[in-house]
Amino acid sequence: MSATGTCEYQPKDYKSDLKPIWCPGCGDFSVVQGIYRALAAIGRPPHEIAFVSGIGCSSRIPGYTTAYGFNSVHGRALPIAQGIKMANPELTVLAAGGDGDGFSIGGGHIAHLIRRNMDITYIVMDNQIYGLTKGQLSPTSQKGRVTCTSRFGSLEEPVNPLLYVLAYGAGFVAQASPTDLVGMAATIEEAIRYPGFAFVNIQSPCVTYGEEAQQIKGLKAISETLASLGHNPADRLAAMDLAQHYGEKLHLGVFYRNPEPPPTYGDLVKERQALLSKDAPPKERILDLFIKK
């Protein structure tokens, strides 16, 4: 990867010809813009990028880029992304989806990509609702929320995506929002550049089923940049402390960046391959393993 970034690519080079199916005003329009900008800043050619998603409104996003896209099945963006990364560690691999995709149906995968330190950037467009199926309770919906599957109010506490990934030991954890597109692009760029599993939670309003307080105006009212709070992103405990305010405050920027990133899974795989391939017989002779003299 070109670490310096060049001006060779413009954001528009990452924009495909497909017209998004999103509702007018959907936060995901800003997210895809942020991704175009981040990718242009990094300057990786589109054909060296694999972008995987699951199912949901936001999971349409790979199709709106010129990268190799994979709009897969519900909740399984991460397993597929890690297979791609293991098969070809030279690729830049992005995964994206909604809060339901990532923290409900696919919620079991995140922990394992984190502990493997797969060098994948995972962007969750968190809108606290199931939009594609027309407005049901999501894993990040706040307790008491009234939706078409919770007419009398939700009885469940929401998942806190930031604490969730911090607790599992993610090396890079950040939050962004369409309220600050420049900041979002910079955060995504930093996440992609981080050598290891990177997570970006983006508060992306659902204009059709979202609540008033979760629209741009409401989000602006509760947003604060972590930089303005003087937060040190190398301090994991401070990051966890701040992350507890998920849902009340909208902290923007990098919560945690491991100052000494450990080797990625890909690095370790390469090491093992180098070590074991030295004295390997050709694969045409693999059956010799079964010879009994």
Partner 1 sequence: MRKDLVFGMAGSGGDGIVSAGESLLQAAAAEGYHGVMTKSFGSQIRGGESSCRVRISTDPILNPGGNLDVAVALNWEDFLKFGAELPVSGTTVVIYEAATGIPENQIPLVGVTPLQVIAVPIAEMAKSTAGTERAKNTVVLGLIAGWFGIGAVAVMKGIRKKLAKKGEELVEANQRAFDAGRAFAMEHPLKASMNVVASETKGQTKLITDGNDMCAAAAIFAGCQFFGGYPITPSTEIMQFFTDHVWKYGGSVLQAEDEIAGIGAAVGASFAGKKSMTATSGPGLSLKSEMMGLASIAELPLVIVDVQRGGPSTGLPTKTEQSDLFAACFSAHGDVIRPVLAPTSVADMFRVTIEAFNIAEHYQTPVIVLSDQEIAARKETLDPIDTSAFKIVNRLVPTSAELQDYKRFKQTENHISPISHPGMIGGTYLASGIEHVESGAPTNSGNVHQRMNDKRTKKFEPLKDRKDLFEVAGNPNAPIAMVAWGSIAGVCREALALAQAEGLDVKLLVPYLLYPVAEGVYHDFFTSVQKGLVIEQTHLAQTFKLLRMHIDLPKGLRPLARSGANPFLPSEIVAALKTLVSELQRSHEGNLQPQE
Q: Which residues bind partner 1 (CB under 8 A)?
A: 18, 45-50, 52, 55, 60, 62-63, 66-73, 76, 78-88, 90-91, 108-109, 111-112, 269, 272-273, 275-277, 280, 283-287, 289-293
Whether the CB-CB separation of 37 and 5 falls below 8 Å is answered with no
The answer to whether 48 touches 66, Cβ cutoff 8 Å, is no
For the bound state, the minimum distance from the C-beta of residue 39 to partner 1, rounded and expressed in Å, comes to 13
**Helices in 105-233 by DSSP H: which ranges?**
110-116, 161-167, 181-193, 216-222
Nearer to partner 1, 37 or 60 (CB): 60
Residue 120, Ramachandran bin (φ over 0: left; ψ between -120 and 50: alpha; else beta): beta
Shortest Å distance, C-beta 284 to partner 1:
5
Q: Which is nearer to partner 1, 238 or 269 (CB)?
A: 269
Q: Find the shortest distance in angstroms from Cβ 29 to partner 1.
A: 18
C-alpha distance from residue 275 to each of 184, 208, 282, 284, 289 (Å): 41, 55, 15, 20, 19
What's the angle, vertex CA 213, arms to CA 124 and CA 145, rounded to 5? 80
Q: Which residues pair with 175 in a beta bridge?
A: 201, 253
Is the CB of 7 or the CB of 291 nearer to partner 1?
291
What sign has the CA pseudo-torsion 257, 259, 263, 267? positive
CB-nearer residue toward partner 1: 49 or 163: 49
Rounded to an integer, what distance in angstroms lies between the CA atom of residue 36 and that of residue 16?
A: 10
As measured in angstroms, the least distance from the Cβ of 235 to partner 1 is 29
Shortest distance, position 197 Cβ to partner 1, whole Å? 14
Nearest to partner 1 of 182, 289 (CB atom): 289
d(CA 172, CA 256) in angstroms, rounded, equals 5
Contact 9, 40 (CB under 8 A): yes
Closer of 61 and 191 to partner 1 (Cβ): 61
- Choice between 61 and 226, CB closer to partner 1: 61
224 in Cβ contact with 248 (< 8 Å):
no
Closest distance of CB 94 from partner 1, Å: 11
Nearer to partner 1 by Cβ, of 111 and 181: the residue is 111
Q: How far is the CB of 91 from partner 1 (least distance, A)?
A: 5
Tell me the closest approach of the beta carbon of residue 201 to partner 1, in angstroms: 21
141-157 residues labelled b (16+ CB within 10 A) or e (exposed): bbeebebeebeeebeee
